[in-house]
Amino acid sequence: MKLLNGQRSLLYTKRKKKVCFFMYDVIIIGGGPSGLMASIAAAMNGQKVLLIEKGKKLGKKLVISGGGRCNVTNRLPLEEIVKNIPGNGRFLYSPFSVFNNDDIINFFEGLGVPLKEEDHGRMFPVSDRAQDVAEAMFNEMDRLNVTVMLQSPVKKLLMDDERITGVRLETGEEFTAIAVVVAVGGKAVPQTGSTGDGYPWAERAGHTVTELYPTEVPVLSKEPFIQSRELQGLALRGAAVSVLKKNGKPIITHEMDMLFTHFGISGPAVLRCSQYVVKELKKNGGMPVTMRINSLPHLNAESAFQELHAMMKAEPKKSVKNVWRSVTQERWLLFLMERADIDPQAIGAELPAEKVRALAREITGFEMVVHGTQSIEKAFVTGGGVSIKEIEPKTMASRKKAGLYFCGEILDIHGYTGGYNITSALVTGNVAGRSAAAFSKEV
């Protein structure tokens, strides 16, 4: 990569003046997956590209993604991908027609990063190293002569009434460009550089920013069994976790693993449910929300009762704790037996059917009250953002200001965990980069 920083400080000392001018075809702000991809797509189209990043390194969030392995995309069919992007996934049909998940796979394999498929279509580098994904992009930017400035926070977008004209850094330096791509991410995990800087810029350019909220975030509960930490660390495999409306009807159910923690619940099923908790809390004025856990989702209360009862009858002289040990994890079973007022040492012959029914209800419909989620800073993904209604989906161009483009998590698009957010960042980044390049050629 061509780094500009050295050159910049030279200019400072010689001229002792803060303002200097560079002319680029396309400036990309932000070195996350969307900005890196946008710079590559713009440079591939033959344009002179400058990428400006405020941190010391590019791709800080990318290299910690997927637990350091980077779940870079997902191999499911497009309709499934869209279903897994509950925050405006349908908007992506248009960008997908230009660059989609298969193109992402081909792109990385073409750069020498073979990918492998894991459960639910999730794609990872064979090396299990997110760093390899990031470095492949850096090398490609190098090959395409993208100029990179590090440690250079952008302060504002420069624009006139009709069009974008460039950017101003916090130092006061200004860089002019025909097109500017804003790829500064959302507000989740600000230590990686995503501190929400782009929202006021978008508003100044005439865009609407929809309300921001945490998504894919652990859920908080004050239930006594959470406060006492007695279930801390317990993971339930393939549980059906639901968020309930006031009337007890489920708003959403996700069947995946979940985890009890010292502050509440987490794990994939809970992360997916979390945005519905946030919305329901808002809707009911902050009153606690009920969640339901069916730890045996192939059964309901009646069929679970029949199964428990049949097991008990088959071994009437054995303690129920031992008879039912194969039903679910011992720690969970003992906890639920206590709630159903069942002595674990009781033998099947002595146990009233009503207590077995109570246990069956707990196993298939355990309810707990939650009162919130962790903050947006601790979330995996930002909900809300630059309204997609004001973005041209085929190009990612602003409908408010000529020459302005948006991509990645700054947009009001958010997916579940599973590779959907990096997919959205790379797809919108590619489309924004190539469109910005095309625009800069026309002007």
Ligand X SMILES: Cc1cc2nc3c(=O)[nH]c(=O)nc-3n(C[C@H](O)[C@H](O)[C@H](O)COP(=O)(O)OP(=O)(O)OC[C@H]3O[C@@H](n4cnc5c(N)ncnc54)[C@H](O)[C@@H]3O)c2cc1C
Q: How many CB atoms are located within 10 Å of the residue 154 CB?
A: 24
C-alpha to C-alpha distance for 371 and 287, rounded to whole angstroms = 7
Binding status of residue 54 toward ligand X by CB under 6 A: yes
Number of residues that bind ligand X (CB under 6 A): 39
Binding segment for ligand X (CB under 6 A), chosen from 27-35, 173-181, 263-271, 322-330, is 27-35
Binding status of residue 153 toward ligand X by CB under 6 A: yes
Least distance from ligand X to the Cβ atom of residue 67, Å: 7
- Could you tell me if 209 and 217 are in contact, meaning their C-beta atoms sit under 8 angstroms apart? no
C-alpha to C-alpha distance for 136 and 143, rounded to whole angstroms = 11
Q: Which is nearer to ligand X, 35 or 372 (CB)?
A: 35
Beta bridge partners of 382: 214
Least distance from ligand X to the Cβ atom of residue 91, Å: 15
Binding status of residue 308 toward ligand X by CB under 6 A: no
Structure tokens at 210: 């929809």
Helices marked H in 69-181: 78-83, 93-98, 101-110, 130-143
Q: Which is nearer to ligand X, 188 or 342 (CB)?
A: 188
Least distance from ligand X to the Cβ atom of residue 156, Å: 9
Q: Which of 208, 241, 231 is nearest to 389 (CA)?
A: 208
Q: Which is nearer to ligand X, 83 or 325 (CB)?
A: 83
Rounded to an integer, what is the distance from CA 135 to the centroid of its chain? 22
Backbone angles phi, psi at 157, to 5 degrees: -90, 140
Q: Which is nearer to ligand X, 31 or 268 (CB)?
A: 31
Beta bridge partners of 252: 243
In the block, which residue shows the tokens 């020498």?
112
C-alpha to C-alpha distance for 323 and 402, rounded to whole angstroms = 70
- Could you tell me if 398 and 391 are in contact, meaning their C-beta atoms sit under 8 angstroms apart? yes
- Could you tell me if 442 and 178 are in contact, meaning their C-beta atoms sit under 8 angstroms apart? no
Binding status of residue 32 toward ligand X by CB under 6 A: yes
Q: Which of 414, 404, 103, 164 is nearest to 396 (CA)?
A: 404
Which one among 4, 41, 42, 66 touches ligand X, defined by CB under 6 A? 66
Least distance from ligand X to the Cβ atom of residue 331, Å: 28
Which one among 39, 45, 47, 71 touches ligand X, defined by CB under 6 A? 71
Q: Which is nearer to ligand X, 148 or 368 (CB)?
A: 148
Binding status of residue 34 toward ligand X by CB under 6 A: yes
Q: How many CB atoms are located within 10 Å of the residue 158 CB?
A: 14
Binding status of residue 390 toward ligand X by CB under 6 A: no
* Enclosing H/E stretch for 358: helix 353-365
Binding status of residue 123 toward ligand X by CB under 6 A: no
C-alpha to C-alpha distance for 293 and 259, rounded to whole angstroms = 11
Q: Which is nearer to ligand X, 242 or 266 (CB)?
A: 266
C-alpha to C-alpha distance for 382 and 124, rounded to whole angstroms = 22
Binding segment for ligand X (CB under 6 A), chosen from 46-54, 83-91, 108-116, 254-262, is 46-54
Q: Which is nearer to ligand X, 226 or 407 (CB)?
A: 407
Binding status of residue 125 toward ligand X by CB under 6 A: no
Give the footprint of ligand X on residues 412-431 (CB under 6 A).
419-422, 425
Binding status of residue 396 toward ligand X by CB under 6 A: no
Binding status of residue 154 toward ligand X by CB under 6 A: yes
Binding track, positions 180-219, relative to ligand X; x by CB under 6 A: ---xxx--xx---xxx-x----------------------
Which one among 4, 28, 29, 98 touches ligand X, defined by CB under 6 A? 29
CB contact set of 93 (below 8 Å; sequence gap of 6+): 78, 82, 393
What is the contact surface with ligand X in residues (CB under 6 A)?
Answer: 29-35, 52-55, 60-62, 64-66, 70-71, 153-154, 183-185, 188-189, 193-195, 197, 380-381, 408-409, 419-422, 425
